Amino acid sequence: MNKQGSGLVPTSDGQDKVFFHQGKIAIFLPSLRGGGVERAMLLLTKGLAERGLNIDLVLAQAEGPYLAQVPPELNIVNLQAPRVLASLPNLIHYLRQERPTALLSAMDHANIVALWARYLSGISKRLVVTTHNTLSLSIKNSSNRTSQLMPFLIRHFYPWADEIVAVSKGVADDLTLTTGLPREKIQVIYNPVVTPDMLKEAQTPLDHPWFASGEPPVILAVGRLTKQKDFPTLIRAFSLVQQQYRARLMILGEGEERPILSRLIQELGLENGVTMPGFVSNPYAYMSRAAVFVLSSAWEGLGIVLIEALAVGTPVVSTNCKSGPSEILDNGKYGRLIPVGDVAEMARAILYTLQHQPRTEILKCRAMDFSLEKSLIEYVKLLHNPT
């Protein structure tokens, strides 16, 4: 690794293209909780570091299950703030002291703080902000009143950024409609998803009785147990599936809706057919052994877990939610798309997929359109300041 900051990034033709950075790149996140945004940004951070760039992972609060996946050689800067907004003074101090060449931030509320910090620090360094979710739906479904201010804040402060990135075309279009930002000012870069390490982890042994030989097929879902993921619809759909097909449902993840989901499972008499093991550090080993992967979300930014399932050759069923799934699945070419919240259609799609397994090679090939290498090339171009 070249500590002076030269980065070697593989291009699509297999050749290494060199981008040169003096100094370091800072990546700012609220924390490393077990969500899709944190997972994607950690992959990006590790990928940049492995290719020779000098990286600081700056966290408002150094907490969350993904902390264990940060390589020891990667520098973590803990701002020790109870909330993202409270990290502003320490982030200003960090920028003044360390003077990174570029700052990359993720999540809208953290992006606003990053923009304010750069302005108040007086340090003129490159700043790229990324948005990972469909803003209009996030606001509509949020119980936090301050989220209603987000379109105003984005409209007034995102223009301060050198680059604005959305993780899907749907997210970019929605950001324009919700905030009035010019669409041409928003770039689309798909999240880094498929990596050699991920594919290797998918093959690791899995000690779970449900995946033993001769057991019923497992329908799998992965995500935080929140309203956004709409797991009640999946559980109700599974109840219909079980009436026609012997199978089991496993939901990996943790979140505030666990009590609600547990009650629903009991009400439907599904205790023996549904399990929620919580957060797991290697969901890919489960994905590669599942018969069907289901995304039941009411809304998404991209839907990283769909790509991960495709990458290990597992057939998928997804809601056609805003936004991402239709882009990933090419309007249903690589997996069945169903209306949001439609229990009967979800059950039918799961049953069909259980009985008509597609060729895994086609799914794996599609997933490579969302490889870490492709994402890294695009981000390095944005973070590199030719001046």
Q: Which pLDDT value is given to residue 22?
A: 55
Distance in angstroms (rounded) separating the CA atoms of residues 307 and 161 = 29
pLDDT at 8 over 60: no
Cα separations in angstroms, 17 against 20, 101, 131, 190, 269: 10, 19, 27, 20, 57
Q: Which pLDDT value is given to residue 244?
A: 96
Distance in angstroms (rounded) separating the CA atoms of residues 167 and 133 = 8
How many residues comprise the chain?
Answer: 387
Contact of 368 with 93, CB cutoff 8 Å: no
pLDDT at 186 over 50: yes
Q: What is the mean pLDDT of residues 54-60?
A: 97
Instruction: Output the average pLDDT for the chain.
Output: 91
pLDDT 10s digits, 282-335 = 999 999 999 999 999 999 988 889 999 999 999 999 999 988 899 999 999 999
Tell whether domain 6-192+371-383 is in CATH 3.40.50.2000. Answer: yes
Cα separations in angstroms, 195 against 22, 47, 56, 141, 199: 27, 9, 21, 32, 6
pLDDT 10s digits, 93-111 = 999 999 999 999 999 999 9
Distance in angstroms (rounded) separating the CA atoms of residues 199 and 284 = 8
**Domain covering 196-370: architecture:** 3-Layer(aba) Sandwich (3.40)
Show me where the domains of the chain are located.
6-192+371-383, 196-370
Contact of 298 with 137, CB cutoff 8 Å: yes
196-370 matches 6-192+371-383 in CATH topology:
yes
**pLDDT confidence band for 385 (50 / 70 / 90):** low
